[in-house]
Amino acid sequence: MSDGSIQSVMKALQVLELFAEEPGWNLTEISKELRYPTSTAHRLVMTLEEAGYLYRDHETKKYYLTIKTYLIGSRTKIVSLLKKQAQPPIIKLSQKLNESVNVSIVQGLFSVTVLKADSERQFSAVPHVGDKGHLHATSVGKCLLAFNSNGCFDQFASSQESLHACTKNTITDKRVLLQTLEAVKKQGYATDQEEVEEGLTCIGAPIFDHLDNCIAAMSVSVPTFRLGDRERIIAMVKDATEEISMKFRF
């Protein structure tokens, strides 16, 4: 590999590293932050987009990391530990409710599904491993925000991005969302009441490590028409996340 090629790789990696600081960057911001000519920044971003590491939001004109970066790092310690500690409880809960259950972690201002237990009666709208969700709209995302998983609340509070409306039920007023997050902290669970997909309700709760840091969140996805005893499901979800959290304490 020539010196020029090596320099191009190093510059591309520096672009990717920016997304550890802020979830979204436009071309001008990337050029200014890294002190690259706009033409150089454009070439690097286009290459990363073509390779599948970045995608461009056509409304905000900003670039964001794709799920590909998560997939490369999916063997990290926390995901491996979650697979070991959380898989049996989520399978058990899924079998009890006959509904899909998933575990998600935070990535920037999104949640990413890392574990899933499918029910026999699957619903096409439930998340799959690798799927990303908006933190402000999903039940797992609200838990991750409320308990500031990996500092995501701090990022969210300082972000100037508008809240994307997935459905007519999505909370898009930041003040209302902050009030909702306070309630989530007090009650220990969050809901997504058709805020991501019409006809789908999700109930989630946080998972903590031995230092009481929120490392993930778990949710059950239920088609609204068969939600039934909501309080019973909430109790079962909280029991399951407590069981998982207890495993991290020993």
CATH code of 7's domain: 1.10.10.10
Backbone angles phi, psi at 142, to 5 degrees: -65, -35
Q: What is the pLDDT of the chain when averaged over all its residues?
A: 88
Domain boundary pick from 23, 38, 65: 65
**What are the C-alpha distances in Å from 206 to residues 75, 86, 109, 161, 180?**
21, 12, 16, 25, 15
Task: Give tens-digit pLDDT for 149-193.
Answer: 888 888 888 888 889 899 999 999 999 999 999 999 999 999 999
Task: Give yes or no: residues 94 and 61 share one domain.
Answer: no
The boundaries of the domain holding residue 229 are 73-248
CB 238 within 8 A of CB 205: yes
One domain for residues 39 and 77: no
Q: Note whether 80 and 49 are same-domain residues.
A: no
Statement: residue 135 has pLDDT above 90? yes
- Is the same domain home to 45 and 162? no
Q: In the prediction, which pLDDT does 190 show?
A: 97
Q: CB under 8 Å, gap of 24 or more: what pairs does 94-99 form?
A: 94/118, 94/119, 94/220, 96/236, 97/220, 97/222, 97/233, 97/236, 99/220, 99/221, 99/222
pTM of the predicted structure, to 2 decimals: 0.71
More confident residue, 19 or 191: 191
Q: Are residues 18 and 84 in the same domain?
A: no
- Lookup: tokens for 154: 């701090």
SS3 of 139-160: the string is HHHHHHHHCCHHHHHHHHHHCC
Contact present, 190 and 146 (Cβ < 8 Å): yes
Residues 80 and 190 in one domain: yes
Task: Kindly state whether residues 78 and 197 are assigned to the same domain.
Answer: yes
| Residues 59, 116 within the same domain | no
The answer on 137 and 196 residing in a single domain is yes
What letter does residue 138 receive in the DSSP assignment? S
The per-residue pLDDT for range 54-102, each reduced to its tens digit, is: 888 877 889 988 767 766 665 567 788 888 889 999 999 999 999 999 9
**Is the pLDDT confidence value at 3 over 70?**
no
CATH of the domain at 237: 3.30.450.40
Task: Verify that 37 and 122 share a domain, yes or no.
Answer: no
The count of domains in the chain is: 2
CA–CA separation, 59 vs 70, rounded Å?
24
- Comparing C-alpha atoms, which of 237, 205, 46, 227 is closest to residue 140? 205
- 25: which DSSP letter? B
> Distance between CA 247 and CA 82 in Å, rounded?
10
Helix axes 230-248, 77-97, angle to 10 degrees: 150
Q: Are residues 80 and 7 in the same domain?
A: no
Residues 130 and 15 in one domain: no
